């Protein structure tokens, strides 16, 4: 429903490997985030299922936060994945 789309969350819990940038880097806590953060986490889960590990799994949590703060988003680059899945 339209009300659900307008609903904003203000929580901060979970593992940084699955957290959307807007959850980690909100300039204004009152601003919150919406269901798009869940879509990000779902995408990370899909990447983990495809690769057998989450993106940036070789990094420590603070390194992941740094990478995301610099705009480095996780990508599938393995040729065994279709182009449409890589661009998802």
Domain boundaries, the chain: 2-86
From the list 23, 14, 9, 33, the residue with the least C-alpha distance to 69 is 23
- C-beta atoms surrounding 53 within 10 Å: 12
| pLDDT of 16 above 80 | yes
| pLDDT of 28 above 80 | no
pLDDT of residue 46: 92
Mean pLDDT of 11-35: 77
Give the C-alpha distances (Å, rounded to integers) separating 63 from 20, 40, 68: 15, 18, 9
Single pTM value for the model? 0.74
pLDDT band for position 6 (cuts 50, 70, 90): low
Q: What is the fold of 2-86?
A: Transferase(Phosphotransferase); domain 1 (1.10.510)
Of residues 9 and 87, which shows the higher confidence score?
Answer: 87
pLDDT in tens, 42-77: 999 999 999 999 999 999 999 999 999 999 989 887
At residue 11, the 3 state secondary structure works out as coil
How high does pLDDT run on average in the chain?
A: 82
């Amino acid at each position: 429903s339209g009300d659900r789309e307008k609903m904003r969350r203000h929580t901060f819990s979970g593992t940084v490997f699955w957290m959307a940038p807007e959850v980690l880097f909100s300039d204004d806590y009152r601003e919150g985030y919406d269901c798009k953060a869940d879509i990000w986490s779902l995408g990370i889960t899909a990447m983990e299922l495809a690769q057998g590990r989450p993106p940036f799994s070789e990094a420590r949590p603070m390194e992941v936060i740094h990478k995301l703060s610099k705009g480095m988003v996780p990508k599938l680059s393995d040729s065994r994945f279709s182009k449409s899945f890589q661009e998802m």
